[in-house]
Amino acid sequence: MFNMIKMGYSRQLNGANIIQLPKNLDRRGNLSVVEEITNIPFEIKRTYWIYDVPGGAVRGGHAYRNNEEFIVALSGSFDVVLDNGLSRTTYSLNRSYYGLYIPKGVWRQMVNFSTNSLALILASIPFDPSDYVYDYEHFKELSNKELEGSVS
């Protein structure tokens, strides 16, 4: 169902993955589309976008307890660095016909934004400040507990 390219795939990153989107090409230009459940593995509750990012800026620097996201570089390029407390993987996004699925419980940063880049983010829950984990050490404790809980 999900057209996942297993780029840098690792179990530790809980299934974070690049997902290819349908691409409709014709003489008038290209059109890509995302449908909840069909193309990405969650229902979309919120959409936001990041733009006018100054050179060298770092976005993110946190994890979500429950929120899942799908990020597309609609314009330009940037890197998403994912971290599960044990290992790190960097995903470069630079095309509007694929995106990065990020499961809950993954530490993430967005870096290396090109001039005029535009990041579209689809999220699985409404905005909730209490869903954020901002402290990296706390995040590591939480992910260790999760791992212990999953080994039964």
Active site residues: 62
Distance CA 57, CA 47 (A): 21
In angstroms, give the least distance from the CB of 152 to ligand TYD: 33
In whole angstroms, give the CA distance from residue 26 to residue 20. Answer: 18
Closest CB 20 distance from ligand TYD, rounded Å: 24
Closer residue to ligand TYD in complex, CB, 19/102 = 102
Applying CB under 6 A, the residues found at the interface with ligand TYD are 46, 48, 50, 59-60, 127
**Minimum CB distance to ligand TYD, residue 23 (Å):** 27
CB 142 within 8 A of CB 105: yes
Q: Which is nearer to ligand TYD, 40 or 110 (CB)?
A: 110
Residue from 8, 46, 4 nearest 21 by CA: 4
* Burial class of residue 72 (count of CB atoms within 10 Å of its CB; 0-12, 13-18, 19+): buried
| Short-list 124, 125, 50, CA closest to 80 | 50
Cβ closest to ligand TYD, residue 51 vs residue 127: 127
